[in-house]
């Protein structure tokens, strides 16, 4: 459901992952973390954070310097 909401908002549906693991599945946990890191690297920066960063730069550029 979260993936559908993100997709409708224009963020892509690859930003949420869910894994079912038990405490005895250490290897599966490691693989899940590696997969998540790879997906995050591929998808790139969160569009909201990018927009906030760009807005902050815009606002900072308006401050006069001495």
HEC string for the chain: CHHHHHHHCCCCCCCCCCCCCCCCCHHHHHHHHHHHHHHHHHHCCCHHHHHHHHHHHHHHHCCCCC
Q: Is residue 46 included in any domain, yes or no?
A: yes
Q: How many domains does the chain have?
A: 1
**Domain around 16:** 2-61
- At 66, is the pLDDT very low, low, confident or very high (cuts 50, 70, 90)? low
pLDDT in tens, 7-59: 787 776 777 778 888 889 999 999 999 998 898 888 887 777 788 888 888 88
The encoded tokens of residue 2 equal 């979260």
**Predicted local distance difference test score (pLDDT) of residue 14:** 74
Q: Is residue 66 included in any domain, yes or no?
A: no
């Amino acid at each position: 459901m979260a993936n559908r909401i993100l997709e409708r908002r224009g963020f892509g549906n690859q930003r949420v992952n869910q894994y079912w693991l038990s405490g005895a599945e250490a290897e599966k946990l490691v693989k899940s973390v590696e997969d998540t890191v790879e997906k995050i690297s591929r998808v790139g920066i969160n569009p909201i954070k990018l927009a906030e960063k760009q807005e902050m730069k815009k606002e900072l550029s308006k401050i006069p310097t001495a």
